[in-house]
Structure 1
Amino acid sequence: MAELSFPLPDLGEGLIEATILDWLVAEGDQVERNQPMVEVETTKSTLELPSPQAGVVKKTYGAPGEVIKVGDPLVVFEVADDTAGIVGTVPAEGAPKRRVRLSANLDDD
């Protein structure tokens, strides 16, 4: 058995934190990938975060009403295989920004 930590992911739009509203799982629960795990609130919306991993919830961080910052631990899973991956990542500070250049073909042929 291996333990995998899952941090609060980047929720987009420059958000840096979220408030825990309600845990939908408890320590010791078996969860499946994409199962709703926790309900959080940001300054822009309320959403349920799905489990990125199948396994047993070993530890949860943050009680309802507590603020968690992006990148801080959210949950630790106990999984059968340490090669199992977690979906999503938290960008490292100072990571280069990706730029997308769009172009349109404006020929009137």
Structure 2
Amino acid sequence: MKQRRYIKLKEKYFQDNGGLLLQQKLANHGVETTRIFCAEELEKATNNYDDGRVLGKGSYGIVYKGILPKNKTVAIKKSKIGAPTQSEQFVNELVIFLKSTTEMW
């Protein structure tokens, strides 16, 4: 029962923070190189969001340098907790960023 509650809570946070909206927009814009990671993977990649790994701060979140398995370096954007309208703007910002980086490659 605890496990089910935990899973439902994670799904709620995913929806509240624009996770479904992000998936839809990525599909609509044809961005295929993006993967959505679970919280545990992101914490490990950023060394528990260590301040030494901060690459930049923006209106809707903080960007961290993350190191994935096989020493792949990535940028991880962690949204700031806020109003539901901010999650939509955060998602739009990510989609624009992803489109611009995939066009470069």
Please report the TM-score for the alignment, with normalisation by the length of structure 1. 0.27
- The higher relative CO (CA closer than 8 Å, separation ≥ 6) is in 1
**More helix by proportion, 1 or 2?**
2
